[in-house]
Amino acid sequence: MRRFAARLTRITALVTVAVASALTPTSASADPGHEPVVFVHGWMGADWNWTYFVDSFGSDGWSDEDLHVWYYDWSQSNVATAEQLASEVDRVLETTGADRVDLITHSMGGLSSRHFLKFLGGTAQVDDWVSIGGPNHGTNAAYACWTTSCQEMRYGSGFLTDLNAGDETPGEVDYATLRSPCDEVINPDSSTALAGARNAQVSCIGHISLLSSDEVYESVRDFIA
């Protein structure tokens, strides 16, 4: 009887291990996770600009640790902002242990982040980059404001001339831009498109409303996923 009980115990243990193994995902089927996302707002923007995007990414499986909303002084030169962005990316990579981040930018945020990529070695640290309503080749709205950053958004500014010289999408980064025919701030709206990027036009959406649009969010999510 004792032998039978011992044998039954061993069989039960083997069955338990087999069932546990069958229910545990293998490395091939486990969720690989996401690269950290750094959000870069635009002129007169703030962290609250990204509330809809952050909530939506969270609902779609990105963790709080994946999502990093960054705030900076939007009145300063985009070059200064790019240097600060480089430090922020370093911090995110160190904190998360990731090799690269994804950058999602709105409006003027696309300019400082492009400077970071092109001139500060950012292409080695960024996987995907997205410009939502970015003044990548200038906008006439910039003639109505006078901060250093705003003047840099004027057509033919020294900053934009340097930024757009040669390769507009350098490195192994995947680039995407989204523009709206109803963007009242970026004129012409074609300014957003970059040579070498995946350029797309969305529906008739206002400049700020781009940040609360299902269509825009889903396009960005599908691009970086």
pLDDT for position 33: 77
Report pLDDT digits (tens) over 161-195. Answer: 999 999 999 999 999 999 999 999 999 999 999 99
- Triad 211, 199, 202: Cα angle to 5°: 45
Specify the CATH class of 35-224 in words. alpha beta
Q: What pLDDT sits at residue 32?
A: 55
The strand pairing partners of 179, in sequence order, are 201
Instruction: Give yes or no for a contact between 70 and 40, defined as CB atoms under 8 angstroms apart.
Output: yes
Q: Which amino acid is located at 5 in the chain?
A: A
What is the predicted pLDDT for the residue at 11?
35
Whose structure tokens read 């640790």?
A: 65
DSSP 175-209: EEEEE-TT-SSSSSGGGG--TTSEEEE-SS--TGG
Query: What Å distances lie between residue 90 and 43, 94, 108, CA to CA?
Result: 23, 6, 21
Chain centroid to CA 66: how far? 11
Q: Is 42 within 8 Å of 107 (Cβ atoms)?
A: yes
Would you give the DSSP letter of residue 50? G
pLDDT tens-place string over residues 6-47: 443 343 333 333 323 222 322 222 235 799 999 999 999 999
**Do 122 and 114 contact (CB within 8 A), yes or no?**
no
Q: What pLDDT shows up at residue 17?
A: 32
Tell me phi and psi for residue 48, to 5 degrees: -65, -15
List, for residues 109-146, the tens digit of each pLDDT value.
Answer: 999 999 999 999 999 999 999 999 999 999 999 999 99
